[in-house]
C-alpha cells in the first residue's frame, strides 16, 4: 500500500482572515485535505513578531479555527492544531539554528519586505525561516503548499534539512517538495497593493452589513467619469470580481466597463453581491459553530495531540544523534 504524502501548511492568527488568505491559501488547503495526510497549523508563535496583546492573539486563534471549520476543513481528514501545542517545534528550531549561517538569514527577502512595510526588525522576524523550517520538518512533511513569496523560505528549509542530515550522517529529516500555488494572481487590497493585514487593506471573509459595504466602497479606483468607457483589466475592483464571477459573468461586466455609463460604484456593488453570495453558506455555518466553542476547542486539542505524537517520533532520533538527553 502506497504511503500517503504528508502535506503541511500554516497560517498566522495576526488578524481577521481576508479574501486574499482564502484565494491564496485556505481554498487550496481545503482541497488538499482530500489528497494526503494533511497537517494544518495556526502559527501563533510566528504571530508574536507583530501581535503584542495576549487576549487578542488567543481570540484570533479561536477565530481562525472557526473560519477554517466553516469554510470546509474536516478534522476527520486533516490534523488542525495550534503551533504552540507542539513544543518539539521550538526544540528543533534551536537545533537547526545552530547550523544556520547568519549570512543565509541576511538574504531573506521576506524579512526585508516586512521591515519595509514598517514592522520592527526583531530577532523573531530575522530568524523566521528557521522556525518555519522546523514547522515543516518536525512532521516529516513531503509537500508544502505555499505562495510564490514563500519560495525562498522553502529553499532555506530544504537547505537546513540537508545540512542536518550531512552533519549527523543520517536521514533524520525528510527534504520536502515545494508546491507553489499559482492558481490565482496576487489578490489586490483596497489600495491596489497585495492584500495584507500588515497594509491594513483587507476585505474580511466573514464581513457583513454596513462595515463590509464601507470597505468594498473604499477600494481605490481612477477618476474616469461615469459616462466614459473604462479598461476592466486595469481596475482593482474588476480584478476582485474575477475571483468570484463565472467566465460569462466576467465577460458581461467587462463589456459594461468598455461601453461607458457604468461607474466604479456599479462595479463595487456587483463585487459586494458576489462576496455575500460566495461566503453565505460558510457564514451561517460559522455562526452555528460560535454557539459550540467547546467543539471548536476540542478540534484544536485533538489535533495538537496527534501533531505532538508525530513530532515526538521525529524528534527522538534527532535528540539521540545530537546527544541531547531528556531526564523525564
Evaluated on CA atoms 174, 126, 60, 208, the torsion sign reads negative
Which DSSP helix (H) or strand (E) runs through 266?
helix 264-290
Flag residues of the chain having pLDDT under 70: 1-2, 181-185, 326-328
Greatest Cα-to-Cα distance within the chain, rounded to the nearest angstrom? 77
DSSP string, 29-98: HHHHTTSSEEEEEE-HHHHTTT---HHHHHHHHHHHHHHHHHHT--TTTEEEEEGGG-THHHHHHHHHHT
As a whole number of angstroms, the distance between CA 8 and CA 43 comes to: 12
Torsion of CA 195, 90, 77, 180, to 10 degrees: 40
pTM score, two decimals?
A: 0.92
- 132 contacts: CB under 8 Å, gap ≥ 6: 46, 153, 156, 157
Residue-range domains of the chain with CATH = 6-186+293-322 (3.40.50.620), 206-287 (1.10.240.10)
Sheet holding 6-11, edge to edge: 78-82, 37-42, 6-11, 143-146, 177-180
As a whole number of angstroms, the distance between CA 63 and CA 65 comes to: 5
- 54 contacts: CB under 8 Å, gap ≥ 6: none
pLDDT digits (tens, 9 = 90+) for 31-87: 999 999 999 999 999 999 889 999 999 999 999 999 999 999 999 999 999 999 999
Residue 303 CB-density burial (10 A; 0-12 exposed, 13-18 middle, 19+ buried): buried
- 157 contacts: CB under 8 Å, gap ≥ 6: 129, 132, 133, 136, 137, 144, 176
Q: Which residues are catalytic?
A: 114, 194, 197
pLDDT value of position 94:
97
- Locate 136 and state its grid cell: 515543516
Residue 65 CB-density burial (10 A; 0-12 exposed, 13-18 middle, 19+ buried): buried
pLDDT value of position 182:
63
pLDDT digits (tens, 9 = 90+) for 108-144: 887 887 778 777 788 988 999 999 999 999 999 999 9
Evaluated on CA atoms 195, 197, 199, 200, the torsion sign reads positive
Amino acid at each position: 500500500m502506497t504511503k500517503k504524502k504528508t502535506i503541511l501548511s500554516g497560517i498566522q492568527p495576526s488578524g481577521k482572515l481576508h479574501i486574499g488568505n482564502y484565494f491564496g491559501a485556505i481554498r487550496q488547503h481545503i482541497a488538499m485535505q482530500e489528497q494526503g495526510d494533511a497537517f494544518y497549523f495556526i502559527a501563533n508563535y510566528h504571530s508574536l513578531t507583530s501581535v503584542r496583546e495576549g487576549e487578542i492573539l488567543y481570540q484570533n486563534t479561536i477565530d481562525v479555527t472557526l473560519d477554517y471549520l466553516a469554510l470546509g476543513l474536516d478534522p476527520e481528514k486533516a490534523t488542525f492544531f495550534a503551533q504552540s501545542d507542539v513544543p518539539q517545534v521550538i526544540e528543533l528550531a534551536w537545533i537547526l539554528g545552530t547550523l544556520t549561517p547568519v549570512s543565509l538569514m541576511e538574504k531573506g527577502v521576506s524579512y526585508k519586505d516586512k521591515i519595509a512595510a514598517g514592522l520592527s526588525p526583531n530577532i523573531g522576524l530575522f530568524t523566521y525561516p528557521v522556525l518555519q523550517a522546523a514547522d515543516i520538518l518536525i512532521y516529516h512533511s513531503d509537500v508544502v503548499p505555499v505562495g510564490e513569496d514563500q519560495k525562498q523560505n522553502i529553499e532555506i528549509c530544504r537547505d537546513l534539512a540537508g545540512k542536518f542530515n550531512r552533519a549527523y550522517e543520517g536521514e533524520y529529516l525528510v527534504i520536502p517538495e515545494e508546491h507553489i500555488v499559482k492558481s490565482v494572481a496576487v489578490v489586490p487590497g483596497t489600495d491596489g497593493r497585495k492584500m495584507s493585514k500588515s497594509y491594513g487593506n483587507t476585505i474580511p471573509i466573514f464581513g457583513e452589513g454596513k462595515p463590509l459595504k464601507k470597505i468594498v466602497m473604499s477600494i481605490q479606483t481612477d477618476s474616469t467619469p461615469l459616462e466614459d468607457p473604462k479598461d476592466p483589466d486595469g481596475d482593482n475592483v474588476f480584478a476582485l470580481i474575477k475571483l468570484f464571477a463565472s467566465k460569462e459573468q466576467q465577460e458581461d461586466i467587462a463589456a459594461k466597463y468598455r461601453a461607458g455609463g457604468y461607474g466604479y460604484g456599479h462595479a463595487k456593488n456587483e463585487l459586494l453581491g458576489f462576496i455575500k453570495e460566495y461566503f453565505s453558506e460558510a457564514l451561517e455555518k460559522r455562526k452555528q459553530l460560535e454557539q459550540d466553542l467547546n467543539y471548536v476547542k476540542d478540534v484544536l486539542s485533538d489535533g495538537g495531540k496527534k501533531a505532538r505524537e508525530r513530532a515526538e517520533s521525529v524528534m527522538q532520533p534527532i535528540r539521540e544523534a545530537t546527544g541531547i538527553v531528556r531526564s523525564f
